[in-house]
Amino acid sequence: MMHGHWTLDDERWDSHHREHAIHDNFHQREHVQNENALEKQERVTQTALARSQEVIDARFETTNEWRGAFSDREREFMTKAEYVANHGSLVLRIDSLEDKDIARTTREQERERAQLRTMALIGLAAAVGGFLLSVFTKLLGWGT
């Protein structure tokens, strides 16, 4: 290298520095773009995670409400022992009602039979009375 004169080596050296500066500049811009993209992706990821957490929290809240409602409903259910006791009581009441209905029906049937017998006896008595009256009338000669 000579002072005051440019040589081929100086030009190559300067060209190399320019290429290196261009490369560094390009690399720096690429680095900034990558950092910006990563920051943007991180914000998107954080937003998605926050939204996911909100959805999960809402789901758990709904699930807990459902469990609470189910527990309340379950507390109102009758136990097997209560069912058996109530069922037995209902069976006794139904049997009692059926027995009363059978007894009432039987009494009604007996009353109807008694009324039919009374009516039959009245009819028979009227027929016998009418027959006897007609016989006496003919014997005594009253209606001729």
> What is the block-wise mean pLDDT of the chain (144 residues), using blocks of 10 residues?
58 82 88 89 91 91 88 82 87 91 92 94 92 87 68
Domain extents in the chain: 17-112
Nearest to 86 by CA among 74, 75, 78: 78
The 3-class SS string of 27-49 reads HHHHHHHHHHHHHHHHHHHHHHH
Tell me the pTM.
Answer: 0.37
Residue 107 to residue 101: CA distance in whole angstroms:
10
Interacting residues of 10 by C-beta distance below 8 A, sequence separation 6+ = 1
Which pLDDT score is estimated for 143? 61
Measure Cα distances from 106 to 40, 93, 119, 120 in Å: 93, 20, 20, 21
Which pLDDT score is estimated for 1? 45
Which pLDDT score is estimated for 125? 93
